[in-house]
Amino acid sequence: MAADGVLILSHCGFSFVEDLVAAIGERNLQAWILSSKPLPEHGEQRLQVLREKASVVISTDSHELNREDVENAIAALQRQGHAIKGCITVWEGYRALMAHANALLGVADLSPQCIDALRNKLGVRNALHAAGLSQVAARALTPTVLDQLKADGGAYFIKPGHGIASYGTFRLNQSTTWATLEEISARVREDTVYKSALGDGVSFIAEDYLKGTEFSFEVLVAAGQAYVVGIHEKCQITEAEGMVLEDSCTSPPSSITDADSAAGIAWIRAVLAHLSLDWGCFHIEARFDGRRWDLIEINPRVGGSLISHSVKALNDAAGVLELWLDLLIFQANGQAHAAFLETLERLSYCPQGIAPTENATFFRVYFASPGRIESIDIAPSKRAPVISSILLKSGDEIEPASREVFLGQLLWRMSREERDAELPALLQNSASAINVQYQRSETASGARL
């Protein structure tokens, strides 16, 4: 039977599919999934899980989707009489494919060319630097440039020119060689999941190292108007070998004033305007040094981990994922779109930097170490988390990689007053809230996170 629905682009059978299917169903629409081929360890079993959740599941023979796959899926759904209200994905490697699909469907979105330009970190950094919106510049890395940077003794940060998941990001030091970058590139080429998002030939850039506290802004932009629905302060960051791990976050920020947040919102709006980003969903990472804001990167998608869930816990209404979905599907309905914009305004920070509610959240992400997991469980705590998610299991083998490997994540919700009083204890106690033991044959001893 013909129906109205939304097309989901899934990478290897995952990419927040369960959350998307649930949100689409809550809006009385059907969810149709186009997925690239799952990894061998998930295979047909993962596709069967998807078939139990969505009315249509299309899987390709490749671990990476392409334009032809998207066009064929749209044509197949339309031949059956279905009305596709929009296409959505949270996998950044497919964000341009989503834009291409929405262009075919007549759904407002950024262009694929704009997405590609936005994912070019060298171009974005230097465009903002030239406009006075960033204090640092970037340069493409070559063996000669690398040696020059090491020789001048400055503080620099290395990252892929088209990056994702903090893959291959690290602070330059005297032990860094061109072989270091070649090794990361080789790992990318062998990484079935991430190589599609990083490109066939991985290039690297170097930027002046940004000092200050790190934050993320969760932003929806409709017809040129930017709405900041969340600001998360990254309480703990680990700069590990070949990656940066974001261990814990709290929202609203705890260490800056409303005036500082207001300055950040104004700066975000100036950045979006300069880059002509007039529609969509953005996870914007930035640092604040006590005087000015500066960019880490702009991601044209929902933030990962528990970012969207945190925003929903903060506003008691909708997460970023749901708001982005509403931005897509309500735009053709004038009355519904107007009501959505009113809701978006209500759920957003005001220009003075004041959060929409008195709620606060704290969440921690746990990362796996190389080795075979022997056991994993959640330890009891005085304040129980409202969201608990264990992503790995006993017997899973973790290979060395220059990217984050998620083990689990926990989120706590409380009043702002409670958060301010309990944050030091939360930081300390949450560090051991997930227990994981690795087999001794793989590691020197069991590990406890």
Which residues make Cβ contacts (< 8 Å) with residue 439, sequence separation at least 6? 371, 372, 373, 374
What is the Cα–Cα distance from 87 to 100, expressed in whole angstroms?
A: 9
Three state DSSP letters for 86-98: EEECCCHHHHHHH
CATH no. for residue 323? 3.30.470.20
Single residue among 107, 128, 155 that ends a domain in this structure: 107
Within this chain, do residues 238 and 333 fall inside the same structural domain, yes or no? yes
Whether residues 219 and 343 share a domain: the answer is yes
- Asked whether residue 449 is assigned to any structural domain, the reply reads no
CATH code, 86: 3.40.50.1100
pLDDT of res. 445: 36
| Coil vs helix vs strand at 340 | helix
Please give the residue range of the domain that contains residue 47: 4-107
Residues 218 and 326 in one domain: yes
Q: Do 292 and 416 have their domain in common?
A: no
Chain mean position to CA 432: 24
Query: Regarding beta strands 83-88 and 4-10, do their DSSP bridges make them parallel or antiparallel, or are they unpaired?
Result: parallel
Q: Quote the radius of gyration of the chain (alpha carbons, Å).
A: 22
Residues 147 and 257 in one domain: no
Judgement on whether residues 220 and 197 belong to the same structural domain of the protein: no
> Contact 285/265 with Cβ under 8 angstroms?
no
Residue 378 bridge partners (DSSP): 434
> Which residues are paired to 57 by β-bridges?
33
Q: Does residue 232 sit in the same domain as residue 352?
A: yes
Which pLDDT score is estimated for 442?
Answer: 41
Nearest to 250 by CA among 233, 229, 238: 233
Domain total of the chain: 4
> Residues 311, 353: one domain?
yes
Cα separation, 446 vs 435, whole angstroms? 10
Backbone torsions φ then ψ of 54, nearest 5 degrees: -120, 155
Does a structural domain hold residue 169? yes
Pairing mode, strands 434-438 and 170-171: unpaired
Give ∠ CA 292-123-304 in degrees, rounded to 5.
Answer: 70
Within 8 A by CB and 6+ apart from 415, the residues are 358, 359, 360
The residues that bridge with 30 in the sheet, in sequence order, are 5
The reply to whether 102 falls in a domain is: yes
Q: Are 37 and 59 in contact (CB under 8 A)?
A: yes
Q: Is the pTM of this model over 0.85?
A: yes
150-154 long-range CB contacts below 8 Å, 24 or more apart?
A: 150/174, 150/176, 154/208, 154/209
* Phi/psi of residue 447, nearest 5 degrees: -115, 145
Give the SS3 label for residue 59. Answer: strand
Residue 121 falls inside a structural domain: no
388 and 277 fall within a common domain: no
In-domain check, residue 118: no
Q: Which two tokens stand for residue 11?
A: 């990478």
Flag whether 128 is in a domain.
Answer: no
Please list the pLDDT of the chain residue by residue as tens digits (449 residues).
Answer: 789 999 999 999 888 999 999 999 999 999 999 999 988 877 788 989 999 999 899 999 999 999 999 999 999 999 999 999 999 999 989 999 999 999 999 999 999 999 999 999 999 999 999 999 999 999 999 999 999 999 998 999 999 888 665 667 888 989 999 998 888 888 777 776 666 666 566 889 999 999 999 999 999 999 889 999 999 999 987 765 555 666 899 999 999 999 999 999 999 999 999 999 999 999 999 999 999 999 999 999 999 889 999 999 999 999 999 999 999 998 877 778 899 999 999 999 999 999 999 999 999 988 888 888 888 888 887 888 999 988 787 888 887 665 567 788 999 999 999 999 999 999 998 888 888 888 865 433 333 33
Give the residue from 382, 396, 398 showing the smallest Cα distance to 433. Answer: 382
Q: Are residues 365 and 246 in contact, defined by beta-carbon separation less than 8 angstroms?
A: yes
Q: Are the CB atoms for 214 and 234 separated by under 8 Å?
A: yes
Burial (Cβ within 10 Å: 0-12, 13-18, ≥19) of residue 274: middle
Same domain, 335 and 373: no
Q: Which of 12, 406, 39, 401 is nearest to 188 (CA)?
A: 401
Q: Are residues 204 and 223 in the same domain?
A: no
Closest-CA residue to 282 (of 296, 264, 303, 251):
303
State the Cα–Cα distance between residues 355 and 375, nearest whole angstrom.
40
CA distances from 384 to 388, 415, 430, 431 (A): 9, 14, 10, 14
DSSP 304: S
Does residue 99 lie within any of the structural domains?
yes
CATH of residue 150's domain is: 3.30.1490
Domain boundary among 66, 85, 107: 107
Q: Which of 149, 176, 208 is the last residue of a domain?
A: 208
For residues 330 and 236, membership in a common domain is answered with yes
- Is residue 430 in some structural domain? yes
